[in-house]
A and B are shown apart, each in its own frame.
Chain A
Amino acid sequence: MSRLQHVIPSGIVALVGLWVAYISYTAQPAEAFLFPRLISTVFVVLSLWTFGKACLGWSRVGQGLSREMLVNLVPGLLVALVYIFWAARTVGFYTSTTVAFFILLSLYDPAPHSEVRSWIRRIIITAGFMAVMYGLFAQLLRVYTPREVFF
């Protein structure tokens, strides 16, 4: 794993640590930030230590991210983020979950996309999963989800 791969995340963590320390030591009332001051001091020391180690090329722990892994991950991650941060509230929980579930299943299912049988299987799995989710959350737990766009 390249040195840069360690430098970027440890740099971000160090920046967060410095920001937390800045807020903790400047925000008022000071009494409310007594404990955050204590934590942020340790946070800054450890994060700068980690960042320093990464810059010097001494960081070895972690598997990092490979190009192949990112190529595999990005489509699923994008679908998941659009589903959670936009579709669930805008389109409705059950509608968006059905669509997201089916897309994710189609993206990552090892069965060939050229087979009609595999598409039928995906539709059946999606329908079965949604039936279980509706039974569990809407009927059993009585969870009121945001209004659906189609019903």
Chain B
Amino acid sequence: MEFIGYFGAVFEPAAFGLLLVGTIGGLILGATPGLSPTMAVALLIPFTFQLAPAHGLILLGAAYTSTVAGGAVSAILLKIPGAPANIATTLDGHEMAKQGRGAEALQLSFLASAVGGVFGVLLLIFLTPVLARWALAFGPSHLFWLAILGVTVIGSLDSRSVVKGLLSGCIGLWLATIGFDDIMGAQRFIFHPALGGGINIIAALIGLFAIPQVLNMFAKGRQPLGGEVIKVQPHSLGASMRELFRRPRALSIGTMTGSIIGLIPGVGGQIAGLVAYDQARKFSSERDKFGTGHSEGVIAAESANNAMVGPSLVPLLTLSIPGSPTAAVLLGGLLIHGIFPGPDLFNNYPDVAWTFINSMLIGQILMCIFGLYIAGLAARVAQVPQSVMAAVVLGLAVFGSYSVQSSMGDVYVMAALGVMMFFLERFGFSAAPLVLGLILGPIAEANFIQGSMIANATDGLAVYFFSGTLNIVLIATVVLSIVYSAWMEIRTRRFIEKQEAMA
């Protein structure tokens, strides 16, 4: 119950002000189609340099939480999900809006998000210290395999092609080796002066997540806005609350599914929302109503995608392995303040860790309160033409990456990586494993070198890295994740071929 002692820090004026800014800004950004939570958090990192570490993390955490929930606004009122996590919300949410129940759908989505989100953060609070204590027993070989696991799980689960996902992870691991070697001081792959200090993680994150989105908006041309905002009729909040708790099955299925999926690295909010929606329909006595504007659909999808936010940070805070692209961006936010997450985080920086986690708990409640009132404004922002959004994001990316170290080199790296990622994504490569490779590369290398030194002085490399229960479990998980994803890919391909043959 150590976390209770740090609640006061969240209510300090500066911290609470940032929590409000992050929450309101996140809700508006989340409602904007094309601005993913990961990109929103990446673009916010430069604004946290001059803040205290805890304050910077409060801003990023609040933005993460509320962008996921804010995506429901455009999903319900425009039938355009603000983020992939809100895809399932459109199925019933937009139908409700078309029937004149838009306000009810919005209220249910924010209330369900808050319930799911609070449960997810509570899981983070109670699970993290236990796992962190357990992680103290990890040696260099285990940490090396964990870093590799982080890349392979996301590489295989997050991509439509296992090989291309793993290859993206490899590119990221290679990019992480650019610069001077830590032990020998040797130059590695420095083919431009801008790369002398290695690739700056923040500039790379901005480039990899923001620039492909900008170029995708350009590629659509002078496109008018697809959807039309549906007018919202007033609806009693009390009635929505009663409706929410009249549907405990959908709420609990969404919350539990989201929490469990959040703990699995690489799976993400999109899967959480869709799986919860599907499960809620299967277990519902009114399953025929799903897809026609049924409240259970909105409740299950929205409680799931916010419930996964807290648990998705557990691997990051305990093992320094980001479980999702957004967690990887948050890791970047920690690293710029010299804070390295992992088993020692709660011993070395308990104030930062607990203030951040507590702020996410308070943030869920603020997100619900403000979400209900600014949904109308957020929906109007969601109608901003893509041309404006593309130009705004490009400007923010350039200024943000420059402000990291006042270096044009970082701007060039940001742009080069972003353009490269846009073209790679068009051919099935994925940004998430590349980012994880870039972030986990130094962790993997440091532990590999350290492990090699221990191995050379003891039983040799093979025994050190491939024996012991924990090593074997981690290696087996790496192999299993790859085999499972390859099997799923083959099954999907066969299904598509069968469908094509039948058509």
Tell me how many residues of A have a C-beta within 8 Å of chain B: 73
Instruction: Find chain B residues with CB under 8 A from A40 CB.
Output: 174
Q: Is the CB of B427 within 8 A of A6?
A: yes
Instruction: Take A84-B398, A93-B399, A104-B394 as given contacts and tell me if A110 and B387 are in contact as well, using a CB distance cutoff of 8 Å.
Output: yes
Q: Is the CB of A32 within 8 A of B412?
A: no
Q: Is the CB of B452 within 8 A of A85?
A: no
Does chain A have a CB within 8 A of B195? no
Q: Is the CB of B177 within 8 A of A35?
A: yes
Residues of chain B from 168 to 223 with CB closer than 8 A to chain A in the complex: 170-171, 173-174, 177, 181, 183-184, 186, 188-189, 214-215, 217-223
Does chain A have a CB within 8 A of B449? yes
Instruction: Take A65-B426, A88-B408, A104-B394 as given contacts and tell me if A38 and B164 are in contact as well, using a CB distance cutoff of 8 Å.
Output: no
Q: Is the CB of A43 within 8 A of B171?
A: yes
Kindly state the separation between the CA atoms of A145 and B390 in the bound complex, as whole angstroms.
22
From A54, which residue of chain B is reached at the shortest CB distance?
B427
Q: Is the CB of A108 within 8 A of B174?
A: no
Does chain A have a CB within 8 A of B57? no
Kindly state the separation between the CA atoms of A64 and B425 in the bound complex, as whole angstroms.
9
Instruction: Take A61-B160, A62-B428, A97-B398 as given contacts and tell me if A42 and B218 are in contact as well, using a CB distance cutoff of 8 Å.
Output: no
Instruction: Take A27-B188, A29-B186, A36-B188 as given contacts and tell me if A63 and B218 are in contact as well, using a CB distance cutoff of 8 Å.
Output: no
Q: Is the CB of A69 within 8 A of B167?
A: no
Closest chain-B Cβ to A141's Cβ sits at a distance in Å of: 6
Instruction: Find chain A residues with CB under 8 A from B183 CB.
Output: 31-32
Does chain A have a CB within 8 A of B310? no
Instruction: Find chain B residues with CB under 8 A from A59 CB.
Output: 427-428
Q: Is the CB of B184 within 8 A of A31?
A: yes
Closest chain-B Cβ to A11's Cβ sits at a distance in Å of: 11
Residues of chain A from 85 to 136 with CB closer than 8 A to chain B in the complex: 85, 88-89, 93, 97, 100-101, 104-105, 107-111, 125, 129, 133, 136
Closest chain-B Cβ to A53's Cβ sits at a distance in Å of: 8
Instruction: Find chain A residues with CB under 8 A from B426 CB.
Output: 62-65
Closest chain-A Cβ to B55's Cβ sits at a distance in Å of: 14
Tell me how many residues of B have a C-beta within 8 Å of chain A: 66
Kindly state the separation between the CA atoms of A29 and B187 in the bound complex, as whole angstroms.
10
Indicate the member of B225, B391, B399 with the most A CB atoms within 10 Å. Answer: B391
Residues of chain A from 26 to 46 with CB closer than 8 A to chain B in the complex: 27-29, 31-36, 38-40, 42-43, 46
Q: Is the CB of A35 within 8 A of B444?
A: yes
Kindly state the separation between the CA atoms of A64 and B429 in the bound complex, as whole angstroms.
11
Residues of chain A from 134 to 151 with CB closer than 8 A to chain B in the complex: 136-137, 141-146
Q: Is the CB of B448 within 8 A of A35?
A: yes
Q: Is the CB of A144 within 8 A of B395?
A: no
Which positions in B face A, CB cutoff 8 Å?
Answer: 46-47, 49-50, 159-161, 163-164, 166-167, 170-171, 173-174, 177, 181, 183-184, 186, 188-189, 214-215, 217-225, 385-388, 390-392, 394-396, 398-399, 402-403, 406, 408, 411-412, 415, 419, 423-429, 444-445, 448-449, 452, 493
Q: What are the 9 tightest A-B residue pairs by CB atom distance, in nearest-first order?
A: A61-B428, A108-B387, A76-B218, A62-B428, A72-B221, A32-B186, A32-B181, A61-B161, A62-B427
Q: List 24 A-B contacts (CB under 8 A).
A: A13-B167, A16-B171, A28-B186, A32-B181, A33-B188, A35-B448, A47-B170, A59-B427, A72-B218, A72-B219, A75-B218, A80-B214, A83-B394, A100-B394, A101-B391, A108-B218, A108-B222, A108-B391, A110-B385, A125-B388, A141-B50, A142-B50, A143-B403, A143-B406
